[in-house]
A = this chain, B = another copy of it.
């Protein structure tokens, strides 16, 4: 998994705290965690394409969450950055070699593939069961003052 997922999740969390009334530039989001702005911007674009963020142009433009935090799951963010390709890639080697049969024998999925898919499904389910609101609540509990400070820092920057 690329570092883009870590960056995207932190940016989404920060945008959840900033709230829907202010747009935040990629440069400002990058400054908050000392990330390379141009490369961070490349991670934010797929989030906009996936309708997790909205991106508005212009001097007061920038990124906002496109939906309420409770409607954006970790799976949404991971899929936007990494795509929905399966981690385990089945190349159907069962169909190769001296005992390989005719194609109709292989209509049902390879059972090794199916077993690996069950594990990926468990992973996706767990990611889908956690949303940005769960994260903001958990962080607010662990560091009570932090959300307000984050909000203020971004609001000052935007204003």
Binding site for B on A (CB under 8 A): 1, 3, 5-7, 9-10, 13, 31-35, 74, 87-91, 93-94, 96-99, 105, 108, 111-112, 115-116, 118-127, 130, 134-135, 138-139, 142-143, 146, 149-150, 153
Copies in the complex: 2
Closest-CB distance, A18 to chain B (whole angstroms) = 13
Contact status B112-A9, CB under 8 Å: yes
Q: CA A134 – CA B115 in complex, angstroms?
A: 10
Interfacial chain B residues near A143, Cβ < 8 Å: 105
Given A122-B122, A126-B119, decide whether A153 and B87 contact each other with a Cβ distance below 8 A: no
Expressed in whole angstroms, the Cα–Cα distance for A126 and B119 within the complex equals 5
B-side contacts of A31, CB under 8 Å: 97-98
Closest CB pairs A-B (n = 10): A123-B123, A119-B126, A122-B126, A34-B96, A33-B93, A122-B122, A119-B127, A111-B138, A33-B97, A9-B112
Partner of A93, one of B10, B96, B98, B139: B10
